[in-house]
Chains A and B, each alone.
Chain A
Amino acid sequence: IAGITQAPTSQILAAGRRMTLRCTQDMRHNAMYWYRQDLGLGLRLIHYSNTAGTTGKGEVPDGYSVSRANTDDFPLTLASAVPSQTSVYFCASSRDRDTGELFFGEGSRLTVL
């Protein structure tokens, strides 16, 4: 089934540890995004990539980094996790930056203790 695959689905992490959330899409979409969803704050954009080889900062980029080595993969790394990064993380993609219609993965629930 075509779509977006995120891993892990859930993770408990000690503060200070490094963590990479993986995201793979098989729709050959050019644009990919990472959002975090928090109760009362809604969905907020962390980083985005309009095409392979390029990335950009979203609304809440601090403490996160991304890379886009190819079209399909868009990993999100927390270099040194902090409790405020406890959240549900969603990877999304769209055919291109102007299409607008977003397709989401099932999310990765991260708890930082």
Chain B
Amino acid sequence: KQEVTQIPAALSVPEGENLVLNCSFTDSAIYNLQWFRQDPGKGLTSLLLIQSSQREQTSGRLNASLDKSSGRSTLYIAASQPGDSATYLCAVLPDGSSNTGKLIFGQGTTLQVKP
């Protein structure tokens, strides 16, 4: 059974720091991996989607990498800002489950960026 883990559960950094959020998954047979952001009381916003054949994706100050063989993904945030404060979730779509589109979510890392 695929399991997705995000460590740490919470992270606090000063503004301007570069930081890395970690996501690990137990089964390397994935179709894709997606990173989301969730603000308190809000829905999830898709940040980056990495297909299984890709190694990384970039959007602005965000860079996500994928290493399928080791079951790991990282989300790199450059020059963090207070507005980056949110919960970040990763989710994998296991290979062979594309008929359900069922993503397996991690429990998230709550990031606080202090001014």
- Chain A residues at the B interface, C-beta cutoff of 8 Å: 4, 31, 33, 40, 42-43, 45, 48, 50, 56, 58-59, 90, 92, 94, 97-98, 100-107
Contacts and interface: CB of A to CB of B under 8 A. Distances in A.
Nearest to B93: A100
B: contact size bracket: 20 to 34
B103 interface: yes
A43 B32 CA distance: 17
24 contacts: A31-B101, A42-B89, A42-B107, A43-B89, A45-B102, A48-B100, A48-B101, A48-B102, A56-B100, A59-B102, A90-B44, A92-B44, A97-B100, A98-B31, A100-B31, A100-B34, A100-B93, A101-B49, A102-B34, A102-B103, A103-B46, A104-B36, A104-B45, A107-B41
A89 to B, nearest CB: 11
B70 interface: no
Contacts of B89: 42-43
A32 B46 CA distance: 15
Interface in B36-50: 36, 41-46, 49
Given A42-B108, A100-B32, A100-B93, A107 B43 contact: yes
Contacts of B31: 98, 100
B1 to A, nearest CB: 11
Contacts of B18: none
Contact of B101 (A33, A40, A105): A33
A101 B34 contact: yes
